[in-house]
Amino acid sequence: MRLIRGLHNLKESHHGCVATIGNFDGVHLGHQAVFRQLRQEADSHGEPLTVIIFEPQPMEYFRPDEAPARLTTLREKIRMFTELGIDNVLILHFSKRLAAMGAETFIDEILVRGLGIRHLFVGDDFRFGRARSGDVRMLREAGEAHGFTVDDMDTLMHRDQRISSTRIRRHLIEGEIAEANACLGRSYAICGRVAHGDKRGRTIGFPTLNLVLRRRSSPLRGVYAVRVAGLGESLLPGVANIGIRPTVEGDDRFMLEVHLFDFDREVYGQLVEVDFVTRIRDEMKFDSFDALRRQILEDADKARRLLGVKQEQQP
């Protein structure tokens, strides 16, 4: 897959493609269905399949304090695009210039002269250009003038409801992991590198992997039974806390901490993927480290039962 960062990096070899535009947050089953349709269209035209995304996402640019928590970081999204066989990904930096660009200019500069698109897939509610003045109708009229066709995307349903990033985010917030996973077509996961922490978990018998989260926020909060990939051939079971660290001092850092069962290796710097299986409880603040330790013991016991892991002797 070729990653194109900005219009200035477009080359003649990128000209001529079948394309789609969107945030594709979560790369869920609905997105995957679109990519399959695009793949067929691209193959029939003998053209590459190009996905156009914005970074940051428009809502993050215009109203950063109100923007919803991402389901996937850019790194995670790019990895999934690669796995799905996307040929090109054009990342448009959403800046003051792009926000002020008129819809007609967007079509001419990016779609026609920049990419030379042959066919475009967009959502039926897709809006673009300054003040969101461009829509599907405008794209179809432009397509007739410039020689490309436009289709809107079919809606994919689950339990009689449309699959969307908003719906998945709501399921995750409410702790409905299985429903979120059914819409994603995979386990919801967060990737990150293991970083050094304050090592307080070791003092109470629960060493943790501390992950650096490269995101503003997460739809997840609380304690979860998890499985972790990246530290061996098989998934490793554990219990995780994500959110503001529940320490006595009230540390306000947003972190993901994972305690792996029967695991004592040092793996600082390694990239791991944490798959969330079931939510155990909400975040809590504790009056003492003894109270914290007792609660972690309960959480670990419950996570072991949920994951079918044999109980070890408690520390």
pLDDT digits (tens, 9 = 90+) for 246-279: 544 555 667 899 999 999 898 999 999 999 999 9
Radius of gyration of the chain (CA): 22
Predicted confidence (pLDDT) per residue in 39-65, tens digit: 999 999 899 999 999 999 999 999 999
Does 193 have pLDDT greater than 70? yes
Q: From CA 257, how far away is CA 302, in angstroms rounded?
A: 17
Q: From CA 34, how far away is CA 123, in angstroms rounded?
A: 10
Band (154; pLDDT cuts 50, 70, 90): confident
Distance (Å) of CA 197 to CA 237, 255, 258, 315: 20, 10, 12, 20
Q: From CA 134, how far away is CA 122, in angstroms rounded?
A: 12
What per-residue confidence (pLDDT) applies to 315?
45
Band (285; pLDDT cuts 50, 70, 90): confident
Rounded to two decimals, the pTM is: 0.90
What per-residue confidence (pLDDT) applies to 217?
79
What per-residue confidence (pLDDT) applies to 200?
63
What per-residue confidence (pLDDT) applies to 130?
95
Band (282; pLDDT cuts 50, 70, 90): very high
Predicted confidence (pLDDT) per residue in 93-145, tens digit: 999 999 999 999 999 999 999 999 999 999 888 999 999 999 999 999 999 99
Q: From CA 153, how far away is CA 164, in angstroms rounded?
A: 12
Average pLDDT over residues 285-299: 87
Tokens coding 136: 């599907």
Does 197 have pLDDT greater than 80? no
Q: From CA 132, how far away is CA 111, in angstroms rounded?
A: 17
Does 207 have pLDDT greater than 90? no
Angle between helices 29-45 and 177-184 (to 10 degrees): 0
